[in-house]
Structure 1
């Protein structure tokens, strides 16, 4: 709320755009409470192996957002024309509705694990374990946002075209990224259950199967982005200059789609085993490397803005290559040792 103007000035937008952007952030900020809790509630259900319930509840929120956006942005019927403020209000209301549905189920006897209480005394051992597991992932996600903002600010040096290519292009790429994240979440729950039960061979089979399924999606998305980059981008922004820049973004990022999916799936496997440090460390180091690499590549006149996209692709290739080998080592050294120990006992 208090630093919205400072954050927006970081991008050097025009005065009118900066004002609208800061206003959007100030309205959306209170909704962060609901967003954080919604993610926590989803994690509780996913950990039980129930991904349908959070999907249904989240889908309701998305539908509410889709309906309210045009009504509040353009002011149809009795609704006022609010512009970007309307989009922010629609987002917060959607998050509030999702939170209400989750809270109704979790803080009642309808919850499978029994009625939960909003305020309860913390137990030291479980709390420490949660912090130990969650801190690396939280740090990775926080730094990922900071790195992305820095790259967006760098793209803003090329004006609105650079910002549009980065923002819209990343939203299009999210089709494969979010799909892979879903498989990663499912695999984490599957691996966690089997890791606790000592069924290590099922972990290997589940990991390989998930890699095949998600990898085929990532490969298909990469081919689609590469062959039809401009056509896909033009659906969202028809201006020729933006289509040219955005199409190039998708074509370059297409090369890394398979590696990006592989990284996310392997991250889920590690998290399910309670080993959150390897994927977080890999993610922080190589995602952070995008910034100096982008600055360096952008200095070449032949690359310019495209240097940013190449820094993202190259880092994704490194992450998607290193992390599976790390998990392979983990399987051989840790899982095999546990399996032998249990046979002896």
Structure 2
């Protein structure tokens, strides 16, 4: 990413995205998202390292098990961020700066308020979920989920912050936020897990302190820092029509993410049947694999930004070109990941655990996971195109089909023969099949905005 790009104003970036070379622009925009993806995936990776090496496999497994439950609640913020990306990107593509800022402010406050409202639900779920696991995990799951309710509103704020910055061609801002968050997490993990040895309480404390400080930084970036996209809380007046449009546009994606994470939760329930050791091995594989999966996802985010802006500018030809360039870049990334990291996986697993049983299961899981990156990369580009077009009902269909019809049913029917490894083979099968199926839909869709009256 060139320094010249970082110094460009919002209007100059808009001109570059709309009128510049598609492939070059996509690479420039993807690099900070790519880097952010690496940093973002390093957060659960480093969390796993601290938990496994300081708190033991029981605490690490309980925290890993709880993540899918937190994901169900955080799915609301992710769904709202999808709507935000589509609306803000298309308004920005039209060049309407005032309406872009108004929409950004409305969606940000709506999301943060919903995060506060949902926090008590996290406490309620902590009691319910902890009753469904073994006694050696129950207390840790209850404590982690109950206390994580204090962190939840900041996750909502972060999701919309990313949408605002990505939608206006400033992908380096979410990257900087993620770098700061990673540094803070490492510092507070060391304090609360290594130095104070607070185990599950320390894991939550590290998250809360990190996200609270980041929340203050995001407020400064959006409301105090001088820029042509500076927001003003004093200008806020609840816009019923806009918020209604956001919710209508966001609900399909919210349902999609909820169903996806609920599917992950059910899959984790299948894993936990095999005991805490297998659960921990699966969590380690997921922590490592998250690095590989996040990389092609960055391309999908770029596709959303560029497609939405070209559609807002009524240039469907360039929007299609963005999609095909995204497929090419995603495939190159996926095959590079397989070639580079497959021989390194056993050494990475050893950083987490020295237990032979855990290492054996985690290594086999990772080998299968590696090849599912190909299908997942293509799938995220396809989703990025649909979101950029404002067709957010399609992610609902893809979420249901990929996790429920293709993965969960595969696991149920093959578990008798493959055991716990049916979960990892199900990941490979569902990602590749979903990519193939929804490529057909992308090729047949009308490349015009599905959002009315922007």
TM-score interval for Structure 1 and Structure 2 normalised by the shorter chain = 0.7 to 0.9
**Aligned pairs (5 A) from 1:131-150:** 131-150=247-266
1:1-345 equivalence runs, <5 A: 1-12=123-134, 14-15=135-136, 17-75=137-195, 80-108=196-224, 110-117=226-233, 120-224=236-340, 226-289=342-405, 290-300=407-417, 303-330=418-445, 334-335=446-447
2:252·2:393 contact (CA, 8 Å) conserved in 1? yes
Q: Relative to structure 1, is the Cα distance of residues 30 and 95 closer, same or farther in structure 2, using a 3 angstrom cutoff?
A: same
4+ long deviations beyond 3 Å = 118-122, 222-232
Per-residue deviation, residues 265-323 of structure 1 (Å, max 9, x unmatched): 111111011111223212212211222321211112xx111112122221111111112
Query: Distance between the aligned counterparts of 2:339 and 2:130, measured in 1?
Result: 35
1:342 aligns with none
- Do the aligned residues in 1 keep the contact of 2:334 with 2:377 (CA within 8 Å)? yes
Which protein has greater RCO, CA pairs closer than 8 Å, 6+ apart?
Answer: 2
Paired with 1:118 and 1:143, the residues of 2 have a C-alpha distance of 37
Distance 1:184 1:11 in 2: 36
CA-to-aligned-CA distance 1:174-216 (integer Å, 9 cap, x gap): 1122122222112211111111101222112222222222221
For 2:284 and 2:215, the matched residues in 1 are separated by 27
Instruction: Give unmatched runs, 5+ long, in structure 1.
Output: 339-345
Contact 1:105 1:111 in 2 (8 A): no
Counterpart CA distance in 1 for 2:124 and 2:395 is 33
Contact 2:259 2:399 in 1 (8 A): no
| Cα offset, 1:8, TM superposition | 2.6
User: In structure 1, how many angstroms separate the alpha carbons of the residues matched to 2:415 and 2:341?
Assistant: 23
Give the paired residue count: 326
- SS in structure 2 of the partner of residue 40 of structure 1: helix
Is the 2:257–2:399 Cα contact (8 Å) retained in structure 1?
no
Are the equivalent residues in 2 in contact too, given 1:11–1:152 (CA < 8 A)?
A: no
Q: In 1, Cα distance between the equivalents of 2:341 and 2:439?
A: 24
Structure 1 residues 147 and 61: alpha-carbon distance in aligned structure 2, compared to 1, 3 A threshold: same
Instruction: Give the secondary structure class of the aligned counterpart of 1:299.
Output: helix
Instruction: Specify which structure has the higher proportion of helix.
Output: 2
Aligned to 2:95: none
RMSD: 2.1
Given that 2:401 and 2:434 are in contact with CA atoms closer than 8 Å, whether structure 1 keeps it comes out as no
Q: Given that residues 222 and 258 in structure 1 are in contact (C-alpha distance below 8 angstroms), is that contact kept between their aligned partners in structure 2?
A: no
Which 5+ residue runs of structure 2 have no aligned equivalent?
A: 1-122, 450-454
